[in-house]
Copies of this chain bind each other. A is one copy, B any other.
């Protein structure tokens, strides 16, 4: 059984997550492994490529809505006045947030991590706007002011950095 397909189609939190799946492509420049940690962008936007939008009954082998969202984020232009500098976009095969698909996470280097759900294939600009806000935040938290509504309504969780602890 293709567990990841089952997970994408029928959210079931008692089924195992499809751990060990291979990495998905994104649109971030790939640094050499030994240099990657030092040159990581301020924010990495991780988009679940297995997610299907609620009510989508396309065949299992059809392109997933999450994969469409990833492609859109890689191609998207940001709303005027919002910088995308410091944001990398990557796909990941499962964020295990299937109950609230489509799903994405943002990891701020040495800052907070955010998980969002209830997204749509058209959410790329909102995600990039939020990622840019997080990348530019002086305290490593995503500001509430200016955050797209989809990232307010779709808030799933946030996780503090282990270091530093000042913003907890």
Contact = CB atoms under 8 A, between A and B. Distances in A.
A32 to B, nearest CB: 12
A1 interface: no
A20 interface: yes
Nearest to A21: B168
Contacts of A16: 144
Interface string A83-119: 0000000001111110000010101010001010100
Interface string A107-133: 101000101010000000000000000
Contacts of A40: 162-163
A14 B115 CA distance: 15
A14 to B, nearest CB: 5
A29 to B, nearest CB: 14
| Chain A interface, DSSP helix/strand/loop, else mixed | loop
A13 B153 contact: yes
A156 B163 CA distance: 23
Given A13-B153, A46-B160, A155-B13, A167 B115 contact: no
The number of times this chain is found in the oligomer is 2
Nearest to A167: B20
Contact of A167 (B19, B105, B160): B19
Contact of A159 (B14, B37, B107): B107
A39 to B, nearest CB: 11
Contacts of A162: 36-37, 40, 44, 107, 109
A62 interface: no
A68 interface: no
A141 B158 CA distance: 19
Given A46-B160, A141-B20, A144-B19, A14 B107 contact: no
